[in-house]
A = this chain, B = another copy of it.
């Protein structure tokens, strides 16, 4: 991904460390892609009836990760509060999707890969939320 190069070329001061932003966007974009694939792979399974909750959470998680990636990619006139609440919602989506994929991961390799992507993405969102909170505290002291 060329995200790092794009941020290095951005005219405004970034809201956070460039490595942290880039890592988070890359995780969000990958998780959105993997969840879209997992929803579709589940839909293609013979036992689709057992996978409806997984499909539903995959679709939600893909939508939320994509939206969160866009908001994080925007660095002009950022309001940290909005970024934080969206990252919190995204961390919840990733955790719920991970838990549901976990249930099917012995049976389906696509759920196993998706579980790992969601777990990683939740962790990275939480890390960024911590950094944002520290940043806000520093700013207001």
Contact = CB atoms under 8 A, between A and B. Distances in A.
A131 interface: no
Nearest to A11: B44
A37 B6 contact: yes
Contacts of A63: 67, 70-71
Interface string A64-79: 1011011101111111
24 contacts: A2-B113, A2-B117, A3-B33, A6-B38, A6-B41, A6-B113, A9-B108, A9-B109, A10-B40, A10-B41, A11-B41, A11-B45, A37-B73, A40-B73, A41-B75, A44-B52, A46-B49, A53-B76, A53-B77, A60-B71, A62-B70, A63-B71, A64-B71, A81-B92
